[in-house]
Amino acid sequence: MGSESFSHITHLIPHISTMESHIKDHYNSDHLTQNIKAALIKAGKDLANLEPKDLSPIDQIHTGGARSSIELFKKITLSSDAKVLDAGCGIGGSTRLLAKQFNCRVIGVDLADKFIEAASFLTRCTKLENLVSFQQGSVLDLPFENNTFDAVLCQHILMNIKDKPAAAREFFRVLKPDGKLILHEIVKGENNSLHLPVPWADKSAISFLESWDVMSRIFKEHGFKINIFSDQTESACTGWEKFNAVSQKKPPRPNPLGLGIIFGSNAKSFGKNMYTNFKNNAICLVEAILKKSYDK
């Protein structure tokens, strides 16, 4: 995507705080792009003709996977000339999925430079660079001008953000009037006992869960109206239970693609811990569509 596609985008990388630096370190993996490339080749994939589904073991790491994302995207109307921001895009799985499914222009932003590098590589491999681009940046200081986007996707990132009011202000600022904020988030349950590691944190110092009651109040106070809300905790718990059941069965030929490429040995504990956390009501999964409105 050329600069003409996003005329309101600036290309300055904002200052990253000490806390954000720790979060960035959690996600940055040395030689990530090279390791993904090697795993794809080992899996027998043609790097020149990749399909987004080929990458699903590593680029749809949020609870519910690609299916949940598509169902959520369908709840809003996106025209082919819509401009969408994927905030906290990781290696760009949802960014590419959104662009391919709805033929709209999407830019992904993430703190981790290794994620941005891998996201750009995989986007070239899937031939989606005419619709998709990436930029390193902070959700708390987005490198875009006011009223740039028709929609913002916020998927499994707020758990790492302590200053949620600042994030809400930034989402409001970069959205066009009546623009949509698409939330697909892990929130705090009634049980304070969180089993670690989980995908967003290997230690409690970088996990900032809040209840949906707290989060919805923050967004309302910062100019958003909730159009759609759904609690997906039960299906999330079932999904992780099935994931663990499948994982326990030894495949005849192990898939070289896996979360260990990104998260190392911690990835082996994610299935068990996520299921336990959902089952024990330490965490919940929510979906919501919010609209930017000046009637606070």
Q: pLDDT tens digits for 276-294?
A: 999 999 999 999 999 998 7
- The whole-angstrom separation of Cα 143 and Cα 10 is 6
At residue 109's C-alpha, the angle toward residues 4 and 181, to 5°, is 90
HSE (CB half, 13 Å, CA atoms) of 231?
13
Query: Which band of pLDDT confidence, cut at 50, 70 and 90, is reported for residue 39?
Result: very high
Q: Are 143 and 14 in contact (CB under 8 A)?
A: yes
**pLDDT in the model for residue 6:** 45
**pLDDT in the model for residue 253:** 59
- Give the 3-state secondary structure of residue 281: coil
**pLDDT in the model for residue 64:** 84
- Candidates 134, 174, 172, 139; CA nearest to 158 is 139
Query: Which band of pLDDT confidence, cut at 50, 70 and 90, is reported for residue 173?
Result: very high
- The whole-angstrom separation of Cα 240 and Cα 278 is 9
From residue 114, give the alpha-carbon distance in Å to each of 111, 147, 150, 222, 229.
Answer: 9, 28, 27, 32, 33
β-bridge partners, 182 = 153, 289
What the chain holds in terms of domains, given with CATH numbers, is: 3-248+263-292 (3.40.50.150)
- The whole-angstrom separation of Cα 33 and Cα 262 is 10
pLDDT in tens, 43-78: 899 999 898 888 988 888 788 888 888 888 888 988
- Mean pLDDT for 158-187 is 97
**pLDDT of 29 over the 80 cut:** no
Other CB atoms closer than 10 Å to residue 265's CB: what's the count?
8
This prediction has a pTM of 0.89
**pLDDT of 13 over the 50 cut:** no
Residue 56: its H or E element = helix 56-59
Least confident range from 14-23, 132-141, 233-242, 281-290: namely 14-23
Least confident range from 161-165, 258-262, 278-282: namely 258-262
The backbone torsions φ and ψ at residue 19, rounded to the nearest 5 degrees and listed phi first, read: -60, -45
**pLDDT in the model for residue 11:** 40
- Which positions ≥6 away from 44 have C-beta within 8 Å? none
Structure tokens at 284: 């919940």
- The whole-angstrom separation of Cα 273 and Cα 106 is 32
Q: Are 212 and 230 in contact (CB under 8 A)?
A: no
